[in-house]
Structure 1
Amino acid sequence: MHRDLSHPIETGMQTFPGDPEVAVEPAATHDEDGYHVEAVACGSHTGTHVDAPAHTEPDGKTLDEYPIERFVFDAVRVDCRDLGARDPIPADRVPDVDADLVAFWTGWDAHWGTDGYLDHPYLAPDAAEACADRGLAVAVDALNPDPTPSPNAGGDEPEGFRAHHALLGGDCLILENLADLGSVRDRFELRAYPLALSTDGAPVRAVGVTRDE
């Protein structure tokens, strides 16, 4: 069973505050040119995407430094749907399992395209450190494993990109803006091949694969 866990890339889609806007527009049409071509303008962290260490670590690896098989993960899904807006995901939610990646299922993709999407649950710094200590990449169905700036931010929230630094500094990849994690099982294979860019991140087509038991 294959499940698409990606948001479609389209004009005006939601991005991290301050990131480049997304535009998908015709550059050639059947009527005028006899063929169709779309012009796509977007940032490297558009939609469902992977973060390479170079995103936050000055000497971190770029995507082209990883073999293609690094983007196929033995994944464990952790249900965090009981958490509310801007709640931290605590370290005791990090599973001690033999896996490549933990996918934190917050259900926050239901808010995609709204202001409320900015107010997702986030990884507490010690939870991110626990993932890094266990060599686990992290996937979230939210904009960010760190708190995203918004008017609703609390004064006690961790500042900056502490989860990013813990994970990417430990060579653990991050996948953001996954969708429909409810369609996969608690143990699944996540395939998330990035565009062939030698950069700090890239959009992916994230696919969850589960086998019939």
Structure 2
Amino acid sequence: MCPRGCLQSICDHATRRGLLKAGFGFGLAAVGGLGLVPPAAAADAAAPPAPELRFSKVHDLTHTLFEGFPTFSGEKWFTVEKPVTWEKDKVNLHRWTLMEHTGTHMDAPLHFSKDGKSVDMIDIADLVVPLAVIDIRERAAADPDAGLTLDDIKAWEAKNGPLPEGCCVAMNSGWHRLLDQPKFTGRDAEGRNHTPGFHAEAAQFLIEERSVKGIAVDTLSLDRGIASGEFPVHYAWLGSGRWGVEAIAGLDDLPAKGAMLVVAGPKVKGATGGPSRILALV
């Protein structure tokens, strides 16, 4: 995504102009996806001027992962051991045991397809994208089985314009604020999970009618909880070669349009997903 010396060039340029305190300003060039390029590289390529991105704040959209982080099944998917300790070894070193899809995490296409891309195969330029936040908090508060619908997408576009090219569409249901409550998993006596997610129709529309690289939810599943036994959104979305993010946090603090999303997933060979650090540049 960033050629050798690019970051140093950006920092030097920002320092000379006194921009470090105000936020960096640098170009974004879209060639097979959005990527950061230094001014010199853009000039050498004789490309048209790229739109400038400025941000003054970085938002962390990641829940802190801990033993006992909620899961749909109620099973423990993350444990920490301390085989090496400061008292015994004068070194701290922990051993983690985890399922890939725990905490705030990425879903790679391979997760719900026979031969889709694993995390390490996803083009890094496809993981730095514009962010569109669609707010369904009011409806979700009244109905935990609510979902992001095609009408929600059309209403967002009527107010904000077309979804940005190559963006991630994030559902804000308000669920990220419920992490320490039973409602976060919404599991009932029959084992059904009553939590918001994307409707299959909305996901299919984004696949067929819009240029969208990823979707994100503040719940534990791209699908609505009550559909989790069938996973129509998982199969359609990930099966189309796109990625998803689940259990994202902090969407309340973001604008509906204008932020950039950085999905820092684990680069593990063959991984179907993994705990990720998700950032928004505003």
- With structure 1 as the length reference, what TM-score do the two structures score? 0.88
Q: Does 1:97 align with 2:153?
A: no
- 2:218 maps to 141
Deviation of 1:19 (Å) = 6.1
User: Aligned to 1:82, what secondary structure does the other structure show?
Assistant: helix
Among candidates 184, 193, 199, match of residue 264 of structure 2:
193
Runs of 5+ consecutive residues of structure 1 not aligned to the other structure: none
Show CA shifts across 1:68-115 (max 9, x none). 222111111111111221112211112442231111111111111432
| Number of residue-to-residue matches in the alignment | 203
The answer as to 2:246 corresponding to 1:176 is yes
Asked if the contact 2:199–2:224 (Cα under 8 Å) also holds between the matched residues in 1, the reply is no
Greater Cα shift, 37-46 or 8-17: 8-17
Instruction: State the structure with more CA Rg.
Output: 2
Deviation at 1:116, TM superposition (A): 0.9
Structure 1 counterpart of 2:124: 68
Structure 2 residue 177 is the aligned partner of structure 1 residue 110: yes
Unaligned runs of 5+ in 2: 1-56, 186-193
Instruction: Please tell me the residue identity of whatever aligns with 2:114.
Output: P
Query: Residue 204 of structure 2 corresponds to which residue in structure 1?
Result: 129
Is 1:89–1:123's contact at 8 Å kept on the other side of the alignment?
Answer: yes
Q: Equivalents in 2 of 1:170, 1:80: separation in Å?
A: 25
Q: Which is helix-richer, 1 or 2?
A: 2
The question of whether the paired residues in 1 share the 8 Å contact of 2:223 and 2:231 is answered with yes
More deviation in 24-33 or 41-50?
24-33
TM norm structure 2: 0.68
Other structure's SS at 2:171 match: strand
| Helix, strand or coil at the partner of 2:134 | strand
Quote the offset at 1:67 in angstroms. Answer: 2.0
Question: How far apart, in 2, do the equivalents of 1:36 and 1:128 lie?
Answer: 44
CA distance in 1, matches of 2:176, 2:107: 18
After superposition, the CA RMSD in angstroms is 1.8
Match of 2:276, as an amino acid?
A: V
Moved more, 86-95 or 133-142: 86-95
Select the structure with the greater relative contact order (CA < 8 A; seq sep ≥ 6).
Answer: 1
User: Which residue of 234, 251, 258 corresponds with 1:164?
Assistant: 234
What is the alpha-carbon distance in structure 2 between the residues aligned to residue 63 and residue 21 of structure 1?
19
